[in-house]
Structure 1
Amino acid sequence: MRPRSRGTVLAAALALALAAGPLVAPAFAAPDRTATGTTSGTATGTTTGPDAKALAAAIAGLPDHDATAAALRVGGKGTWRGTAGVRDVRSGAPVLENGRFRAGSVTKVVTAAVVLQLAAEGRIDLDGTVQRYLPGLLTDAFRPITVRQLLNYTSGLRPGASLGDTVEDGYPHRFETLTPQQVVASSVAQGPAYEPGTHQEYDNIHYTVLGMLIEKVTGDSYAHQAAVRIFRPLGMRDSSFPVGADPRIHGPHNRGYDWIDGKLVDVTEWNMSDRWAAGDLISTTADLEKLLVGLFRGRVVPEPQLKEMFTLPDVPGARYGAALERFELNGKVIWGKTGSRPGYATVMAATPDLSRTLVYSVDATDAKGDGQAIAERFAYPAFKR
């Protein structure tokens, strides 16, 4: 049984600065298809652009034991694009460069952006409390929890209910529904984990409550607010959320797989209603690149609210601002967000000045594991120089 990952390991993996080791030989019957990558923009021989050789090596050999497909977009001072693998193991159809996928916790960046826009409009006070905006949601056992503490994961709320802490546990329940209201109610019933603002604990529950806050303040659905405030202005035409309990990914997409009881199982269809504003975004690498660049350039969230995303709370060991995680590599500060759902691992990250950007989607066969091997293999080469 693989332990559930409650936070990104991208920072740890990059900090180790380890190149990926030899690839594991495929342990399933997959088509003999040579991986291909494409490059564009800055010549690969420059010292300021991305390391094209290392990036090509990262996607070489797909599909293999760890991933069936990958699509990478590296930008900034020089660009690189690469795709490899198959969209469907059974048919052997080639990977779709702009196929849709489940972006997991990258959803939190969208949620944080909507909340911060509402704050800029004066409709939400970041120092206002959950008790003020959502009266009755919390019991008297909870001290006041501010919107800012939800954004930076310091609220003290405990994790809510799930339909399985591992892919193996969740697979038999993949078409069942666990509503955000049920998730939050189960969290509240456990009482607070710690005094708000004294500790940072990454978990979906903070952003599930933020989704409720968005709906209460706007009188509109979370999905529609994300569409009109984020997707449409940025031209993110292939980004959406499932409607209710719909387990499908609509439109062109690469299928996701996971090892379950020693067998490679198709896990593409999965009801993500319990993840909601914390993790049920469906997107593409091109769309997430638009989000990443637009956000960092201040076109999504205005100052001074934008600084919330790049400000760590004053608590021991803090790594996250509002949604985004901060880490350092070779003296460079990088901010980003990972996401994982069964069959899909996603990263969007960049230096603050956008001199280097990275977005990838990997159809990882252990996407809900600790993620370190995937991060080392696909993320590290993008920031190697």
Structure 2
Amino acid sequence: MPDQPVLGPRALGRATLARQLLLSRAELGAVPAVELLVGMQAQAPYAPYFGLWTRLRDFRTEHLADALNERRLLRIGLMRSTVHLVTPHDSRALRPWVQPALDRELDTAFRQATEGLDRATVAAAGRELLAAEALTTKELGERLHKLWPNRDPRALTYVVRNLVPLVQVPPRAIWGVGGTTRYATADSWAGPGPDPDALPTPETLVLRYLAAFGPASVQDVQTWAGLVRLRPLLERLRPQLRTFRTEGGRELFDLPDAPRPDPDTPAPVRFLPEYDNLLASHADRTRVISDEDRRLVMTRNGMRPTFMVDGAVRGAWKLTRQRSTATLLVDPFRPLNRAERSAVSAEAARLLAFAEPDADHDVRLSTSTPTSTGSAP
């Protein structure tokens, strides 16, 4: 094998930030940006609004809200069995590929509760119910329980959720409106998809991942997708890719002409929402966050919103509102110098202007030392 250039964490970080639209805000609309990013993790309903604001120039909340209401974007369980914001086309392309992860989750969490159950029959019943009207999980469980009275309603709903592509329909995730989570089938909500033979190949999906998250190792691709045994797929792609090595010797794959900026390229302060895919889509995430700081970001219930300084996570943030005052609490994981504090405060003020335009604004930078809130997965 020919010598492979070595890319350190800073070089990898700049490459990924460039592709994630985090080195400079892009002149893109919400829909093409979500497509370029191969979806955005979205189990926190408002997280993609902040994720798009931090990546796009002149983004406004109605840009995403309108796309959801008009069914140009939708929220559906995909990679890692988590809710993602994607285009209808990408939902149809990605769901069959990541289905093994959804099957594995169902087997792990509900193997005993579904033992002896004809899952395909349950899925068909759920599909019929949800094609007729959008239902909450409780409503779906109650109706399925009437058909299978000896089964746990929650297990029945998970069979449908994991075997049938389901969309969380508005007003859920509509900025300033919100509402109870209701599900419809993807086909009834966004229309039937193309013939399965017309869908993109797994190779095409991995190339799109590399365009949005690369350079990446086999383990990185598997982490993003929630799948295993993907090395043969990368080997098939090898002739059309460039390869590199990490400082630890792990092989990385990348598109030949993808951006790989100089490691010293300036990286502005950026505020990321909870569950941002930047922090969830690599096995080795030290390109953008240290292992120590990951333990401060990950909680027992998920992932805290974070902010980045010079291309790396440096702390967390929280937005609160009491009456007419909106407060952004900024929690650095270690002291910031004067220039960094100024840049963080300025970006925090811009975030408040975006999220709470009708409120009085208060930015507060903590000086306390944070403690771990959970174990990083």
TM-score normalised by L of structure 1? 0.23
Q: Which has the higher contact order (CA 8 A, sep 6+)?
A: 1
TM-score normalised by L of structure 2? 0.24
* Structure possessing the higher radius of gyration over alpha carbons: 2
